[in-house]
Amino acid sequence: MIERFDLKKAQSPLVSIVAVLLTSAALAPVIAGNMAYAAPAAEVCNFGTDTTLSGLTVHSGEKCTVNGYTLTNTGAFVIEASGTLKISETGAFDNAGGIVSNSGTIKNEGSLYNGGGGAFIINQATGTIANKGSIWNGFVTFGGDTILNLGIIKNVGIIYNGIAGNTFINGASGIIKNKGTIDNDAAFQNSGIIFSDGTIENDAGATIFNEGTINNGGTIENDGTSIFNSPSGVINNKGTIENNTVLINCGTINNEGTITGNPVEQDCNG
C-alpha cells in the first residue's frame, strides 16, 4: 500500500513559519519600508555664530538650521523642493537686500527679516512657510522690499508688512492660513485665498487690495486716521470678503466686489 504524501506532516514548525512569512502579503510593507528608509537630512549651516552669506543653495534632502545666531543673506538663497530652512526660537535670518526663493519648506520659530531695499522673498508654488515666530517685511526705511507667496503660508505668529513702499503679495495660487496676526502698515495685495481665524490689522496709512477671497473667521480691523496725521486705512475690494465673524471699519472700504456674512461694524472707540 502506497501512503499518500501529507505536506502538513512533512513540514516542521520552523519550515511552516518561514513558508508563511515568504508568502505573506504582510511582509511587503516591511520590505518596502526598509527600502524607503531615508537618511537624516544633511545639515549645511553649521555656523554657530553670526554669519553673512552672498547666497546659498539648500538642495533637496538638505537642511539649513539657524540656531542661536543670525544668518544674513545678501545674494540668492535658494531652497529646493524637499530642502528645509529652519529658524529656531533663538535664531534670526536677515535677508538684507538679497533674494530668497523657497520651493521646499521654511520653518520659522524665531525672526525672519526681509529688508534693506529691493529684498525679495518668493515662496514658490511648491513652497511652504510655517511661521510660529515673526516675519518682518520692510522693517527698515529703505522701501522696495517684497514678499511674494505663490504657495502656502501657515501663520500662528505675526507677519508684519511695514513702512510705506514695501509690498506683501499673495498671488493667484497663494494660500494663507492665518491663526496669528497679519499687521499691515504698507501695501498688501491678495489675488489668492486667505483663511483667517486670527487677526488682520490694516493700520492707518496702509492699503489692502483684494481681488481674491478673504475668509474671515477672526477679526479684520481697518483703522482710522492716526495721531500722526496718517490717512485712514483703506480696503479696496474687487474680490470676495466672507465675513463670518468681525470686520471693524474705522477707515475707508471701497467695495466693487462682494462682502458676505455679518455686517461691517464701526466700533472706533476701542
User: Each residue of 165-211: pLDDT tens digit?
Assistant: 999 999 999 999 999 999 999 999 999 999 999 999 999 999 999 99
DSSP 94: E
Distance CA 242, CA 190 (A): 14
15 pLDDT exceeds 70? Answer: no
4 in Cβ contact with 10 (< 8 Å): no
User: Each residue of 90-127: pLDDT tens digit?
Assistant: 999 999 999 999 999 999 999 999 998 899 999 999 99
- The predicted model scores a pTM of 0.85
Cell of 183: 499687521
Measured in whole angstroms, the distance separating CA 239 from the mean position of its chain's CA atoms is 22
Residue 63 pLDDT class (50, 70, 90 cuts): very high
30 pLDDT exceeds 50? Answer: no
Residue 140 pLDDT class (50, 70, 90 cuts): low
- Average pLDDT on 145-150 reads 98
Q: What's the angle, vertex CA 226, arms to CA 221 and CA 232, rounded to 5?
A: 55
CA atoms lying within 13 Å on the CB side of residue 257: 19
Spans of all domains in the chain = 41-261
21 pLDDT exceeds 70? Answer: no
262 in Cβ contact with 242 (< 8 Å): no
How close are the terminal C-alpha atoms of the chain, in Å? 104
Where do we find the cell 519648506? 105
90 in Cβ contact with 111 (< 8 Å): no
38 pLDDT exceeds 80? Answer: no
Distance CA 81, CA 74 (A): 22
The H-or-E segment that residue 34 falls in is helix 27-35
| Residue-level pLDDT at 152 | 98
| Residue-level pLDDT at 268 | 82
8 pLDDT exceeds 50? Answer: no
